[in-house]
Amino acid sequence: MSGQELQVQENKNGGEVKQERILKIDFKMVTFSLAGKDYGIDIMNVKEIAKANRFTYVPNTAAFVRGVYNLRGEIIPVIDFRIFFHLPAEQKDENAMENLLIVRKDEQIYGIIVDSIDKVVGVSSEQIQPPHPIFGDINIRYIKGVVEHQGRLYIILDVNRIFSQEEERKRTSIEAEGLPLYTPPAMEGTTPARGEGREGPNQSVPLEVNFIKETLFALKHFATTAMNEKWVLARYEEWKKERQTSDAVQLKDLDDAEAFLKPFYSPYTDQFWGDDYAAAVRSLLPDMPGKTITVWNPGCGKGFETFSFACILRERYPEHRIKIWASDSDLLAISSAPTMAFEYEVFPEYCRPFLVKGKYGYGFNQVIKDAILFEYHDIRNNNPYVDLDIIVARDILSFMSPEEQSKILSDFDEKLKASGLLLIGSHEELPAEEWQFIGKAPVALYSKAK
């Protein structure tokens, strides 16, 4: 019997057999509290617990990043889970000690601030139930499951998903059968487009399409707005043919959402841009006045996009000084971006003139590296960049709430020069009254409308 052992006893009166299940403890978690609720993290992710204060502030980081902490010589980022999950936090004295969970995700170490740390609890993994949308105070994407133990209900958080977007590809269950679909507050009655005000769910399309839109937001934070609705509707028609039966059309879990969105991503996402796409981008870049070209690449991830664009710019504008601010809210990705190294064959042709051979393989030469500043930054916070010539923001806007999309687009408009260019995702579209499309599919390049 999987996960359990069956104990069989025979009583003294003979004959009757008493069967008692003994749970097999195969999952241990470190439990803690946040805003009065009980949570757990797989003990395999927990390195140690500690008390600490006076974290070193890091400018231009998200509000939930309290700073960095020197853990016996290793500098680690410190995340305040109360702020990260938008939970109420007790106002403490500056010198008060914080409860710190030191967790590991692959080779990276993070500090997590919680209200209190309780104990280690062992349960059977068969007791763990999938997360339910009613746990609305924490995004369901970050919940591995829930389990009851000695009269207390623990919400088990998934450290891997919290600290890495890549890990989101792993399975999160929402057993949608019999459960209500989660409708995020931001989507209730609103699918705004820039310049068009806010409008309710599109009543001109089948109701099941609106369910898909809501599920995409709940599972992937993909917000359907005028920017991408055309693609969503076209994809829905394809999706129906792929699924064949009406019962299979709705998105029941993260795997379904990933499958639905798979064709959405721009060419060469999370890899070096291919020679064909790079050539298409390069052909659209106009002559640039001045001596310096300034670029902002939010959502740069592991740096493939940034290095690709840096090589294109270096080739297109050999006489210009190039400066690229590359930022991302994925701490793990952004920390490894500057030092990437691969076999020579991995790099497309247009990148090869800018390579040098190092100890661990080929990487980019100092000219390219000096042009890029990788830094941790959450685009939803204040963005300090000004007088930009180009912004490269492929696909990231669609994974923001409608309010955030509107705010960031306004920010882009403000920070770009009058002649500035905005490169967005291949399946994203901007309103013609504010942005002029100057690209050629699949390159979605825009300039400000005159």
Query: Which class for 411: exposed (0-12), middle (13-18), buried (19 or more C-beta within 10 A)?
Result: middle
Beta-bridge partners for 356? 363
- Residue 94 phi/psi, 5-degree rounding, is -55, -30
pLDDT of residue 338 exceeding 90, the answer is no
Separation of alpha carbons 326 and 304, rounded Å? 11
Tens-place pLDDT, residues 12-34: 444 444 444 566 888 999 999 98
Min mean pLDDT across 67-81, 128-142, 195-209 is at 195-209
Give the pairing of strands 98-105 and 74-80.
unpaired
Tens-place pLDDT, residues 114-148: 999 998 899 988 888 877 655 555 667 788 888 99
Of 215, 188, 371, 396, the closest CA to residue 295 belongs to 371
Two tokens, residue 87:
């939970």
Give the residue with greater pLDDT, 381 vs 264: 264
Model pLDDT, residue 145: 87
Query: Which class for 90: exposed (0-12), middle (13-18), buried (19 or more C-beta within 10 A)?
Result: exposed
Separation of alpha carbons 255 and 175, rounded Å? 12
CB 170 within 8 A of CB 54: no
Model pLDDT, residue 274: 97
Model pLDDT, residue 425: 96
What band does 292 get if pLDDT is binned at 50, 70 and 90?
very high
Residues 6+ apart with CB under 8 A from 150: none
- Residue 227 phi/psi, 5-degree rounding, is -65, -30
In this structure, the number of other CB atoms found within 10 A of the CB of residue 54 comes to: 11
Min mean pLDDT across 79-88, 180-189, 225-234, 332-341 is at 180-189
pTM given for the model: 0.59
Query: Which class for 236: exposed (0-12), middle (13-18), buried (19 or more C-beta within 10 A)?
Result: middle
% pLDDT > 90, the chain? 44
Of 403, 396, 384, the closest CA to residue 422 belongs to 396
- Residue 283 phi/psi, 5-degree rounding, is -65, -20
Model pLDDT, residue 9: 46
Tens-place pLDDT, residues 211-254: 889 889 888 889 999 999 999 999 999 998 888 766 678 888 88
Model pLDDT, residue 336: 78
DSSP assignment, residue 338? Answer: G
pLDDT of residue 325 exceeding 80, the answer is yes
